[in-house]
Amino acid sequence: MKNAMEIAMEQDAPRQNLAISAYRTLKHDIIRGRYAPKEKLLMSRLKECYGVSTGPLREALSQLVADRLVVAISQRGYRVAPMSLAELNDIYDARAQLEGLILRLAIERGDDDWEASVLATAHRLAKVTDISSPDELLDGWDLRHKAFHTAIASGCNSPHLLQMRNTLFDQVERYRHLWLQETVMSPAALEQKRQEHAALVEVILARDAEKAAILMRDHLMTPVPIITRVLQDRGIS
Partner DNA sequence: CTGTGCCAAATTGTTAAAATTTATTGATAA
Partner DNA sequence: TTATCAATAAATTTTAACAATTTGGCACAG
Q: Which spans of this chain sit near its own copies (rule: CB under 8 A)?
A: 16-17, 19, 54-55, 58-59, 62-63, 66-68, 74-75, 90-91, 93-94, 97-98, 101, 105, 158-161, 163-164, 167-168, 171
Least Cα distance to 159 among 167, 147, 148 occurs for: 167
Q: How far apart are CA 194 and CA 122, in angstroms?
A: 9
Least Cα distance to 170 among 9, 49, 31, 74 occurs for: 31
Q: How far apart are CA 24 and CA 8, in angstroms?
A: 9
Count residues near DNA (CB under 7 A). 21
> CB-wise, 59 or 208, nearer to its own copies?
59
Q: Rounded to 5 degrees, what angle do the CA atoms 142, 150, 191 make?
A: 40
Cβ at position 153, least distance to its own copies in Å: 13
Asked if 43 is part of the footprint of DNA (rule: CB under 7 A), the reply reads yes
Q: Please write down the long-range contacts of 1-4, taking CB distance under 8 Å and 24 or more positions apart.
A: 3/48, 3/49, 3/50, 3/51, 4/29, 4/49, 4/50, 4/51
Q: Say which entry of DNA, its own copies, none residue 98 contacts (CB below 5 to 8 A, set by partner kind).
A: its own copies
Q: What is the footprint of DNA within residues 61-80 (CB under 7 A)?
A: 72, 74-78
Q: Say which entry of its own copies, DNA, none residue 76 contacts (CB below 5 to 8 A, set by partner kind).
A: DNA
Considering only the stretches 28-36, 40-48, 203-211, 212-220, report the one whose residues sit in contact with DNA under the rule CB under 7 A.
40-48
Q: Say which entry of DNA, its own copies, none residue 53 contacts (CB below 5 to 8 A, set by partner kind).
A: DNA
- 39: helix, strand or coil: coil
Containing 78, the helix (H) or strand (E) segment is strand 78-80
Asked if 48 is part of the footprint of DNA (rule: CB under 7 A), the reply reads no
Residues that bind DNA (CB under 7 A): 17-19, 40-44, 51-56, 58, 72, 74-78
